[in-house]
Amino acid sequence: MLFAKQENGVQWLVVGLGNPGKEYENTRHNIGWQALDATAKAWGGNITRSRFNALVDTVTVHGQKVMLMKPQTFMNLSGEAVGPAAAYYKIPQQHVILLSDDINLAPGVLRIRKSGSAGGHNGLKSIIAHLGGQDFPRVRIGVGEKPCPEYDLAAWVLGKFSPGDGKIIEKRMLDVVAALELILDGKPDEAISKYNGAVKG
């Protein structure tokens, strides 16, 4: 069996960034959770167990034990969940993969990087602080820019997608899962080459 539940000895941590609470469901800022839910579905996971101030599940993917995590700390404090989990399992930074929103990218555009700065994203800032560095891969998912400069940023990221943008996002979820599998297989450059940008074809 390709995907199976696994309880101990985690080798990778895949983290979807978002905010807990019904009012934040399906908002632009919670696209990391949406992507993680799609990943869990593909890998046979169920992210419901409470641990490390997060909801988690552990699965085996291509022979590697992977913890899927939704921090319950609110976005700006995500590192308070990620840091302790990485420390407990002795997971190196390079094996912590972040899924998050990006307002500088059009809806559904992916930007996969092997490392880098927070780029103004407070969730990434918190994780960098708690991991003690920024040498971890991340998959940033475009949610679109504010409609005008005067538009309140918080109102924008906490708003919901239009039906059209929502369909674009939904179609990209399988690409996110495929990119994650390449990263787990030690092929981040292939993931970047194949899935960065908008949908090809």
Which residues are part of the catalytic machinery?
A: 29
3-state secondary structure 27-67: EHHHHHHHHHHHHHHHHCCCCCEEECCEEEEEEEECCEEEE
Closest by alpha carbon to 140, among 187, 185, 172? Answer: 172
Pairing status of strand 96-102 against strand 54-61: unpaired
How far apart, in whole angstroms, are the C-alpha atoms of residue 174 and residue 197? 14
Query: How many CA atoms does the CB half-sphere of 49 hold within 13 Å?
Result: 13
Q: Residue 145 CB: number of other CB atoms within 10 A?
A: 15
